[in-house]
Amino acid sequence: MTEKQVADQVGKWMKLFQLQQWEIGLDLKKGSSVEANGEGQVIAFIEPDRCSQSAVITMAMDNDDEELKNTICHEMIHLLFFEVETLLYALVGFISDEQIREVMGELVHGRKEEFVIRMERALRNAIPT
Ligand SMILES: [Zn+2]
C-alpha cells in the first residue's frame, strides 16, 4: 500500500464512524511489525490524544494489502471506542484496592480488544474495502 492508499482508507473509516473532528497522523514504518507500548510486536497501533483531538497510527508497511486494510479498520474502531475506554479506565482508577484495580484494568483491556476484533470482522464482511 502507498501512503496515499493508507490515508484514503483512514478517511473512509473516519467518514463512516463520523470521526472527522479527529486529526489523524500516519507514522508508516518499514518492516513487518512495530513495537507497541506494553503490547510487544504488532502490525499497528493508534495513540489518540483527547486534548488535541488528534491521533497517530503507527504501522509496519511490509505486510500484504489485505492485512493492512483490516489493520487500519481495526485501529479506527479503537479510536471510535476511545472515549468509552477512557471513561472505563477512569472508573477503574477509582478502585482503591490495588489488586482489584489491576484485575479490572486487565478485564477492561481484554474486553476492549475482543470488542474491536469482533467489530472488525463484522465490518470486513459487511463493507467492501
Ligand atoms: Zn487492537
Q: Domain 3-126: which CATH class?
A: alpha beta
pTM attached to this predicted model: 0.91
- Spacing, Cα 116 to ligand 1 middle (Å): 6
**Tens-level pLDDT at each residue, the chain (129 residues):** 999 999 999 999 999 999 999 999 999 999 999 999 878 999 999 999 999 999 999 999 999 999 999 999 999 999 999 989 999 999 999 999 999 999 999 999 999 999 999 999 999 889 876
- Coil, helix or strand for 59? strand
Going from N- to C-terminal start, the domains of the chain cover 3-126
pLDDT digits (tens, 9 = 90+) for 29-56: 999 999 998 789 999 999 999 999 999 9
- Spacing, Cα 77 to ligand 1 middle (Å): 8
Alpha-carbon distance 27 to 56, whole Å?
A: 7
